[in-house]
Each structure stands twice: as structure tokens, then as C-alpha cells.
Amino acid sequence: MSIPQSGGGPIEHHDQLAEYLADGCKPKEDWRIGTEHEKFGYCKDTLKPLPFEGKRSILAVLEGLRDRHGWSEVREAGHLIGLEKDGANVSLEPGGQLELSGAPLETIHETCDEVNTHLREVKDIADEVGVGFIGLGAAPIWTHDDMPLMPKGRYALMNEYMQHVGTMGRAMMRRTCTVQVNLDFGSEADMVQKLRVSLALQPVATALFANSPFFEGKLNGYKSWRSYVWRNLDDSRTGMLPFVFEDGFGFERWVQYALDVPMYFVYRDGKYIDALGLSFRDFLRGELSALPGETPTLSDWADHLTTAFPEARIKKFIEMRGADGGPWRRLCALPAFWTGLMYDQTALDGAWDLVKGWDAETREELRVAAGRDGLQAQVGSLKMHDLAREVVALSEAGLKARGRSGAGGLVPDETHFLNTLKESIESGKVPADELLDKYNGEWGGNLTRIYQEYSY
């Protein structure tokens, strides 16, 4: 979940809303890669989720990272709720999931080094205090009541609101994890093409990274239960956004969509003011009942943009949101997958050629099937396994064309970060399939084995 935005002055005319998004346009040489990933923490002796405070807790991990590895504090209402260093931040998801929001970096080599350093630092602290961390798309055993709610004002408001919309909002907050990447665009036309391809191909990412076949200690019938949770969250702020594929789509059309997303809050003087279900359009007119007579700032607009949760979204960059959290190698594969597709024009054009003939119904059916069946998904004549093979090949070609070397020039490009995905395509098995094989085989249905074998 995003941290409060800052630095924006008052909104004096409507055009500023689209201009805010357009300000994200960058020349290609300035395009960067920002990787985010979440993981569940637990007490090694009890296999229960971490409380916020105590000897074995979220707070103990944050304090350890601060004291031993040089991170600076982020506090809210006196609580240590995050850390910052070198353009990156460590933050808390609602149920205590620990998230690294990486710095904007030039290559996958750099972003993978960042991930590796972070996980080593976390393990250094976690081992000392008897804590473990595991990367999965959904908590495999824990119930809602097992999970603490972190002391952040935003989450208290969301927790209340989620009980009145959809059916899975609070499950999303407490019991899911993702890996995401944020990528840049060069112009409005570039944004449009990238967002369309991103939305259409999120089901491929969902299938390749599916890693949540268990929930509350049982098989759930899905390869990615996390994707099921997001489909049953809040229709007003989630989904595949058919309007993005309509003629004339651009920054202003996204503004109109975002204005129709009900508000959660307004952030003022370190506090979250309840604006649940209210209208940002009213806020623009100075008629927001929570702050009568006050008009919003660009910081308020930036905050509001973080409360829309479609499969891909734009702020001043594009955020890919379809993948389950997972094992170490896939944390580097996800940014590689999308960078290869988005940052080479030939690969991007090839991806658009694959998807441009699909209608909204096909895209939605792929989304559903990907979560349920992984690489075995099929919609009409479209077979996910074949589609994934084509898309990964396009990404590989895009990464090769980028030619960004690593290891002092010893590694010629970034294509090896896709190896784990190519292995899945070769075998037909994604992480969820491997977990199911273990569960039905050597684990003998004992799901607690997952912590020992799949923790970082």
C-alpha cells in the first residue's frame, strides 16, 4: 500500500489532474525500473503470523533493519511503520506483510541486487529474533482472526469500508502478497499502448506467477487464490478496465475513471480523515462533507490515485499488479518479464499484435481462467501455455535488444532473469503446481511443511 504523497499545491483548474499524470512522461534514456515485493512474516516456533510489537514481531524486524543496516525511520502517530534508504522504502501491508518498494533503477541486474541485499538483511534480523519470512500469493493456513491489523490510519479506514463492498476486501488486506514492477512511459501515446498491453497480458503474469493454491489450511481450487480475492474485492476500483481499449483513451479519460472511484481518506497534518465513499468531484468543488469549504491539493489527488486497484494502473508510471508473491528467483523474473515487453518497441509492438484483436469478454475470461488453472487455462482457442510461451519469447527478445550488461560486462544482457519462467513453460508447472505436488505427495497433506521448505 502506498505511503502518503507530498509536494503538491492546490488544484486550481481541472486540467491539472491530467497534467499530473502527463508529468510522468520521460525520454527513453530516463526510463527506470521500480520493483516491489511483499512477504509474510511468522514466528518460527508457533508458525503464527507476527504481531506488531514484542520480542518476535514486525517492530523487532524494523528496529533491527534500522539499527544494523542503516535504514531511517518512518513514523505515523508515534508508531514505527516504515523505513527509507537510498531511494527505497520498507513498508507494512495491513496484515503485517513486509514490503520492499525499490528505488528506480536502470537495469534488472541492479534491481535484483537490491532484492538480494534486502532479503539478506531481513534474514539477518529475522534469524536472530526467531522469525521467518515466506513468499506466497496468499496466507496458506492463517484465518482472518489470526492476522493483526497494522497501526496505520489508512488501514483502519479501509478495514471498515471493506466490510460493506465486495466479499474479499479484508482478506486482500491481511492475507495476500504480490510482486509488482513500476515502469515509465515516454508520451501519452506510449502510455496508451503500454497500458493496453499491460492489462491484456496481466493474466499471463497471473498464470506464470500463480502461487496460492491453499487458504485457511485447505485446497481452494485455484492456482492463484490471490487473483480470486482481487476479483471479489470492490468492483468500483478493480478489474480489467475495458474503457482503456476504447478510441480516444488517454490521460483525461483516466482522470474521469479515477474521479468515479469512491474516496477512502484525506491526509492532513499526519492524520487520515475519513472520506469513505465520498466523491473527489465534490472535493474539487469545495463541497466535501469531511472538509467543507476546502479544495484539494495535488498531493490529495496523488493519494486518491493510489486507491484504485485495477490489474494495471497509471500514476506517473505504470504499475503491473497481476502476480502472486513468490520464491526468490521470481522476484527478479517479474520485472524482467515486463521490462522486456515494455522497454523495447519491437517487443511492445509484437505484444500488441498478440492482444489487439481480443474483446473485453476474452480479456476477462483469461483473467478468471489464469487464476483458476494457471498455464492450463484455456479460453476458446486461446491456450495459456502457448500464449505464455509467445509472450516470454517476446520479452526475451526485448531484453536482448536492450543489451544491458551486468557483472562488470561478464553478463551480456538481462535475459537470464527469465530462466525460471522458461523452466515453467518447459515443464508446464508454475509454483502452485509444485506446491500441489508436494502437498499431495511427500507432505502427505501436512501444510505446515511449507514454512520449512519455502521460506526465504
Is 452 contained in some domain? no
228 inside domain = yes
Tens-place pLDDT, residues 135-148: 999 999 999 999 99
Distance CA 451, CA 344 (A): 39
Q: What local confidence, expressed as pLDDT, does residue 8 receive?
A: 75
The answer to whether 398 and 341 are in contact (CB under 8 A) is yes
Question: Nearest to residue 1, comparing CAs of 163, 156, 196, 210?
Answer: 156
Q: How confident is the model at residue 3 (pLDDT cuts 50, 70, 90)?
A: low
| Residue 9 predicted with pLDDT over 90 | no
Instruction: Please name the helix (run of DSSP H) or strand (run of DSSP E) that holds residue 320, with its range, or none.
Output: strand 318-320
Q: Which domain holds residue 71?
A: 15-261+308-440
Q: What's the total number of domains in the chain?
A: 1
Spatial contact of 370 and 379, defined as CB atoms under 8 Å apart? no
Structural domain contains residue 273: no
Would residue 288 count as lying in a domain? no
Give every CB contact of residue 182 below 8 A, 6+ residues apart in sequence: 33, 34, 35, 36, 104, 317, 318, 319, 320
The answer, yes or no, to whether residue 6 has pLDDT greater than 60, is no
User: Mean pLDDT for the chain?
Assistant: 96
Q: Is residue 176 part of a domain?
A: yes
Burial class (CB in 10 A: 0-12, 13-18, 19+), 185: buried
pLDDT of res. 89: 97
Residue 45 C-beta-side C-alpha neighbours within 13 Å: 5
- What does the pLDDT read at residue 269? 87
Q: What residues contact residue 231 under an 8 Å CB cut-off, 6+ apart?
A: 238, 367, 368, 371
Average pLDDT over residues 105-109: 98
Residue 271 lies in a domain: no
Q: What is the pLDDT of residues 361-385, one digit of tens each?
A: 999 999 999 999 999 999 999 999 9
Q: Is the pLDDT of residue 326 over 60?
A: yes
Distance CA 283, CA 302 (A): 14
Residue 4 domain-assigned? Answer: no
User: For 94-104, how does the pLDDT look when each residue is reduced to its tens digit (9 = 90+)?
Assistant: 999 999 999 99
Hey, what amino acid is at 418? L
Measure the CA–CA gap between 96 and 57, rounded to whole angstroms: 9
Q: 268-300 burial string, b = 16+ CB within 10 Å, else e?
A: eeeebebbeebbbeebbeeebebbeeeebbbbb
CATH number of the domain at 47, please: 3.30.590.20
Tens-place pLDDT, residues 332-364: 999 999 999 999 999 999 999 999 999 999 999
Query: Which residues have a Cβ under 8 Å from the Cβ of 413 and sit 6 or more positions away?
Result: 399, 400, 402, 403, 404, 405
Tell me: the pLDDT tens digits for 263-280? 999 999 889 999 999 999
Read off the pLDDT band of 166 (50, 70, 90). confident
**Residue type at position 297:** T
Is the pLDDT score of 4 beyond 70? no
- Asked if residue 407 is part of any domain, the answer here is yes
